[in-house]
Structure 1
Amino acid sequence: MRVLLNVLCLAAAFNIGLVSAADEAKPAAPVYKTKKLGKAEIDQLLAKPEKLVVIDVRRPDELTKIGGFPVYLSIQLADFEKSLAYIPKDRTIVTVSNHAGRALKTGDILIDKGFKVAGAIGAQNYEEEGGKLTRVEVPQPTAAQK
């Protein structure tokens, strides 16, 4: 019985070491200042459009494929720093990307620059929670335009 107990203790100790090594190998999840918002919070903010600016940091092809919010500024993350002058400081800001990763990064940039950021949301997350996105239809060229 004592041998079995020693074997179990060694096995437990060995497994704890493996878990710790595996945990150390995983990169830590980024910590953002910007809050990740849900559908209900976004809907509340969208109810007062005169106080809100929605900034979508996705590429144009993502916007046309997935859809977006009714009105937004489209500024890709790579161009963000040089576009700050176009963003009004007197409104609350929501940043948008597909699953909020880029939106959270953008929100942190804005917070660091003194903007009032309500949070970030992923357009696909919003839709998964029952929200309706606006689809942008890309007009097809006419025969005269070809």
Structure 2
Amino acid sequence: MQKYLLVTALAAALTANISLAADATPPAAAPAPVAAGPAPVTPANDPAYTYKTLRLNRAAFDSLASRPEQLLVLDIRRPDELIKFGGFPVYLSVQTADVQRSLGSIPRDRLIVVVSNRAHRAGAVGDLLSGYGFHVVGAIGVRDYEDEGGTLTKIAPPASPAQTAAAAAPSQQK
């Protein structure tokens, strides 16, 4: 008798669940996937970056920058680019055209990160320096760094002599 009650209760429970499931509205269908265009070019998938020098992202650069006694940040951009976009707080500035003439000024006892706007020139210079025996650990673009949420130091150009003279002259009021 107990087996009969147990089987009957089980059958009733299963029947109730089946009927509840039949009455339930089906879940909303997931939206159809939208056909995606080509992925945007990022530092991680930039096909034009063909250099041997590793292209760093913000996290990798910040990790290296946390050990400043071991690192040399070599910024190869022009002064107008430094002013326009900003840069890292401490760096050695050697413009791209002057790198080979300046090899004697670049320390060989440091890990080197080469910097340009989007890392392409930095990658080329990194490969060049590696060929001369420097320990280049990567290249980074300041614009990429900023796009990833990093903060750059902005450099204000010095005032021209005319601006300085105009600011120093007392205003003449009548």
Q: Give the TM-score category using the shorter length.
A: 0.7 to 0.9
User: Within the alignment, does 1:50 sit opposite 2:72 as a pair?
Assistant: no
Q: Which residue does the alignment assign to 2:109?
A: 90
Q: Distance in 1 between matches of 2:49 and 2:147?
A: 23
List aligned pairs for 1:36-115, cutoff 5 A.
Answer: 36-115=55-134
**Conserved 8 A contact 2:49-2:120:** no
Q: AA paired with 1:76? A: Q
The offset of 1:32, in angstroms, is 1.2
Q: Distance in 2 between matches of 1:126 and 1:58?
A: 15
Report the structure number with the largest CA radius of gyration. 2
User: Within the alignment, does 1:136 sit opposite 2:155 as a pair?
Assistant: yes
Q: Distance in 2 between matches of 1:71 and 1:30?
A: 26
Give structure 2 stretches of 5+ with no counterpart. 1-46, 169-174
Deviations 1:73-110 (A, max 9, x none): 11111111000100110000000000001000000011
Percent sequence identity over aligned pairs: 56
Q: Which residue does the alignment assign to 2:40?
A: none
Q: Distance in 2 between matches of 1:31 and 1:41?
A: 19
Q: Distance in 2 between matches of 1:114 and 1:96?
A: 18
Q: AA paired with 1:136? A: I
Flag the structure with higher helix content.
1
The TM-score, its normalising length taken from structure 2, stands at 0.65
The TM-score, its normalising length taken from structure 1, stands at 0.77
Q: Distance in 2 between matches of 1:73 and 1:112?
A: 20
Give structure 1 stretches of 5+ with no counterpart. 1-27
The offset of 1:33, in angstroms, is 1.3
Q: AA paired with 1:67? A: G
User: Within the alignment, does 1:32 sit opposite 2:51 as a pair?
Assistant: yes
Q: AA paired with 2:130? A: I
Q: How many residues align?
A: 118
Runs of 4+ in 1 over 3 A off after TM superposition: none
Query: 1:65 is paired with a residue of what secondary structure?
Result: helix
